[in-house]
Structure 1
């Protein structure tokens, strides 16, 4: 039983705490944001990163008490928008970026105007998606092991398609080749729709494609889904096995999107936004909306995103260097 003396002591402590001044960090967090927050996304309206941005902006506007306005700045695979965020100075600019912007951007293009490791404040990993190793409809085999053996049998007479040099599909295929002995040659296209057309026509035999692009053609019987690149099966394509299940290790790779601010963004603000994002990502309606757009909702601490950036950069740097991969 709590004594009267303990109750009086607790009340006195609470009163004293109320009289103490806020620390600078506490005051800064409480005051922010003082105006609308700009959420820069480096892809056009209707793209999957844009859907992520708009899903997040609605909920963050309520959580932060200020409008969160999406600002589409497409170009250079998201690097134009990422650079704007890196150079922002008003503490009210955040960015939706993809893994390429935060990991290998400068490795595949030394002219990239920002340093992923230095110029951003990681806030939260937002969503992940695997890539589907997709084969032409006439590929020989029905299991992942059989289809990979077929791909190896083609040697360097086989081709694989990607939406361009230095894209995640390009890096992922070269990583897969290094682990399996597949000898397919790279054929870049303007985008994934053209890759699919080439697969169906037999101009290329393999590709790593987002589930939303690959699976409609797989279900129509025009292409074959070999396996996914994620470490475990994905809710986006639960019936497709992983490369790990096929005995191929060391090829775990996901597409992901994240929320960042400029490196100068105060840590208390970073923590506040990350906490708000984590709550948003727990909501079933948010998860359902993002799943439809091709994302598995995550919501991580800033440290989790920072660790993911380092791990993915380390994984891909060797393949970029050994294969001398450069962006278009």
Structure 2
């Protein structure tokens, strides 16, 4: 007689309840293992400038798409003061492990050179990626008649210190870059600092100053409206941001090889694994077609660099600004 096929031994009710309890206890662990370990709560983007400024607009442009990728809300927090210094300081000292920031190039390059008593150190901030960059646009009062960029610079050289230029303040990027332009083009225009780009543009419209070097996103609309005149972009070739504007070499002046840019930075205390998560999400967002279009509309060329490339850019720009500051004997109070 064939052996009887044994029936499976079914668990008793007590055994079944014990097994179910063990499985239930293990479920949260399994779910947590599948979910990202970080971020575990809403993230904060620290911006050192007011709402409506370029760093603020860039932060708001990346906030929602990064929130979708990271699975947590991303909230913009404006910590305004001292031309971005306060925001950079707040970010450098953040210990919540859920903060990052949008920081302008000046806070990472020229500001530490001009003010050694800054409340933060650049090494307290970890590079993540460049969001967007732009060459600058050399603009002039519409009261100046010139036939070409070369003619403009010829007149500017002949005028010597009878001409003046406006900047966004002593030690600002527009101040330092215009001093570099003066050195390259042989100009002697006198510096007149203002409190912001609108004041510079109004002074040019009124004929109080002769020229300025301003961000394309700030100046191009005024040029197109005929309120001021565009001379050239500071780059070696035409920029997609202002293709109608000739580059400096077309006027017989060497390109300045410096741009303005805004970057995502994190506290250096944030563990590298978490910075890597942040960088992966930020780069994916910045390189998307949607954000490229948004940045272009704001006057920026989208980048999305590696942290290493941003580190190199900070190093190179700092060296350039150090040279300008020393050669032109530029100092600021405080």
Tell me the TM-score normalised to structure 1 length: 0.87
Q: Which residue of 2 aligns with 1:106?
A: 112
In the TM superposition, 1:11-26 aligns within 5 A as none
Question: Is the contact between residue 149 and residue 232 of structure 2 (CA under 8 Å) also seen in structure 1?
Answer: yes
- Please point out which of 283, 293, 310 is paired with 2:315: 310
Question: Is the contact between residue 141 and residue 205 of structure 2 (CA under 8 Å) also seen in structure 1?
Answer: yes
- Please point out which of 35, 49, 57 is paired with 1:51: 57
For 1:270 and 1:178, locate their aligned partners in 2 and report how far apart those are by CA, in whole Å. Answer: 40
- Please point out which of 42, 57, 72 is paired with 1:66: 72
> Aligned-residue CA RMSD in angstroms?
1.7
Q: Which residue of 2 aligns with 1:32?
A: 38
In the TM superposition, 1:237-248 aligns within 5 A as 237-248=242-253
Q: Which residue of 1 aligns with 2:239?
A: 234
Question: Is the contact between residue 139 and residue 229 of structure 2 (CA under 8 Å) also seen in structure 1?
Answer: yes
Q: 1:39 to 1:113 in 2, by over 3 A?
A: same
Q: Which residue of 1 aligns with 2:280?
A: 275
For 1:291 and 1:256, locate their aligned partners in 2 and report how far apart those are by CA, in whole Å. Answer: 13
For 2:255 and 2:287, locate their aligned partners in 1 and report how far apart those are by CA, in whole Å. Answer: 30
In the TM superposition, 1:165-244 aligns within 5 A as 165-244=170-249
Question: Is the contact between residue 247 and residue 255 of structure 2 (CA under 8 Å) also seen in structure 1?
Answer: no
Tell me the TM-score normalised to structure 2 length: 0.86
Question: Is the contact between residue 140 and residue 150 of structure 1 (CA under 8 Å) also seen in structure 2?
Answer: no
Structure 1 unaligned residues grouped into runs of 5+: 1-26
Question: Is the contact between residue 217 and residue 300 of structure 2 (CA under 8 Å) also seen in structure 1?
Answer: no
In the TM superposition, 1:243-262 aligns within 5 A as 243-249=248-254, 251-262=256-267
How big is the shift at 1:48?
Answer: 1.6
How big is the shift at 1:250?
Answer: 5.0
- Specify the SS of the correspondent of 1:214: helix
Structure 2 unaligned residues grouped into runs of 5+: 1-32
Equivalenced residue count is 300
For 2:149 and 2:276, locate their aligned partners in 1 and report how far apart those are by CA, in whole Å. Answer: 43
Q: Which residue of 2 aligns with 1:3?
A: none
